Amino acid sequence: MNPTLPHFFWNEYRKRRKKAALITFAIFWGTLSILLLMAFGQGMSIQSRVSFSGLGETLIMITAGQASLPFEGLPKGRPIRLYREDITYLSERIPEILHIVPESYNNWQVSAIGKEVNRGVHGTTAEFALMRTQIPQMGGRFINADDNAQARKVAFIGWSVAKDLFGTEDPVGKQIVINRVPFTVIGVLKKKLQDSMYQGPDADQIYLPFSSFLMIDSQREIDRIHIQPQKPGQSLLVEERVRVLLGRKYRFDPTDRYAIGVWNTIEDFKEATAIFKGIEIFLGIIGALTLLIGAVGVTNLMYAVVKERTKEIGIKLAIGARRRVIIQQFILETMFIFAKGTFWGFIAAFNIVHLTRLAPVNYDSFGIEAYLLRPVFSLQIFVAYVVIVGVLVFLSGIFPAWRASRSNPIESLRYE
């Protein structure tokens, strides 16, 4: 590059500082808008996966139902129940099952240190924690195999239950009374996002060892069977085999979708992921159109600058300036403005994203703010943006620069 070029560039840039500031602001605003658009879009996609995993990502839930079709001489309308023996029955006949656990439920009065509330109480086994994202807070644990084997009077409680009964005190090791039976709290559920649920959010629930639950509620029927396949891709196969096997055992048509309830969270998660991926793509298309409009705007502005400086370009060419010097000067101005606008757009977007993430999420009343308040600033997206916009801006500047370099000095000097 010509050693005098930076000097020429800086002098010309200072002469047109106001116009350069307008172009810089346009690039700054475009950078800020696109980066925020992509950050909030990616944040919503990630938060959807996080909140969905609050229920369980690789889970199939089976519930009792009612036959809606006659079968082998039996009328429709028959209730179909689930029993404890079904756990062993299904696990022995479906090798694709990784974990299978029962869940029974009742709503009882729960009291501790003079306070009393009505809460959902569940009986289940140790694998339930893995399948349903039951992560204990520091200092506590979930139900384990020994708790079930020995029918221990222990309880794992939601954080909302802990707050209602114990306030700010640590409930681990303290006693609660459920249906007039004392239980020792062994853990409190860690706060989590959960937008899918049944019988209320996990924060309001209490979990007991299945054997201990049966001691205060001895019904043979169970409310729900949780199944985790060996592989997520086997979910539909497992679902179909469950229908066939239970249909054979309880004599209902396997194609009867009302005989038993099946909630396949794996397939639901695929659909939700596809929806949010579509939102990301849509936002990306809007960003791409914004980039294209911005590039056209830069091109028009640079053409206006060339037109304004026609006489100056003619003088430079007349006194012997080479065409490549004219091109380099315009490209250097374009790229400098681009770098300046992009830098400040990046700084503004980065700070807005991180300030937004400082806002607390209310886990007790999960809403749309949990999606909007967790944007994700991706360095990969910024690098891709710089590369794409850099190329567009370069192309936006090269054509006006090439046109300026091809000017006829005589005609340029006559230009008014």
Parallel, antiparallel or unpaired: strands 181-188 and 154-157:
parallel
* Reported confidence tier of residue 36, pLDDT bands at 50, 70, 90: confident
> C-alpha angle 412/414/416, rounded to 5°?
95
Average pLDDT over residues 209-222: 90
- Candidates 232, 217, 2, 212; CA nearest to 124 is 212
CB 253 within 8 A of CB 67: yes
**The token pair that represents 89 in the structure block:** 């029955």
Q: Which residue has the higher pLDDT, 90 or 42?
A: 90
Average pLDDT over residues 167-171: 91
**Lowest-confidence range among 39-48, 113-122, 241-250?**
39-48
CB 291 within 8 A of CB 393: no
**The token pair that represents 300 in the structure block:** 């028009």
Give the Cα separation of 124 and 235 in Å (integer). Answer: 22
Tens-digit pLDDT profile for residues 313-358: 666 656 666 666 666 677 777 777 778 888 888 899 889 988 888 8
**With 70 as the cut, is the pLDDT of residue 364 above it?**
no
Amino acid at 214: L
Average pLDDT over residues 294-317: 63
CB 279 within 8 A of CB 41: yes
Element (H, E) at 178: strand 175-178
Give the per-residue pLDDT at 415.
Answer: 45
* Reported confidence tier of residue 416, pLDDT bands at 50, 70, 90: very low
Percent share of the chain, pLDDT over 70 = 77
Parallel, antiparallel or unpaired: strands 224-229 and 175-178:
unpaired
- Rounded CA Rg of the chain: 33
**With 80 as the cut, is the pLDDT of residue 252 above it?**
yes
Amino acid at 80: I
The DSSP string of 136-157 is BPTT-----HHHHHTT--EEEE
Q: Which residue has the higher pLDDT, 384 or 201?
A: 201
> C-alpha angle 338/343/348, rounded to 5°?
130
The sign of the dihedral angle between the CA atoms of 274, 276, 280, 283 is: positive
**Lowest-confidence range among 83-92, 211-220, 247-256, 274-283?**
274-283
Q: Helix, strand or coil for residue 361?
A: coil
**Lowest-confidence range among 41-50, 180-189, 343-352, 400-409?**
400-409
Amino acid at 35: L
What percent helix, strand, coil does the chain show, rounded to 5? 55, 20, 25
Q: Which residues contact 102 (CB under 8 A, 6 or more apart)?
A: 84, 87, 123, 124, 125, 210, 222, 224, 225, 226
Q: Which residue has the higher pLDDT, 193 or 100?
A: 100
Q: Which residue has the higher pLDDT, 280 or 72?
A: 72
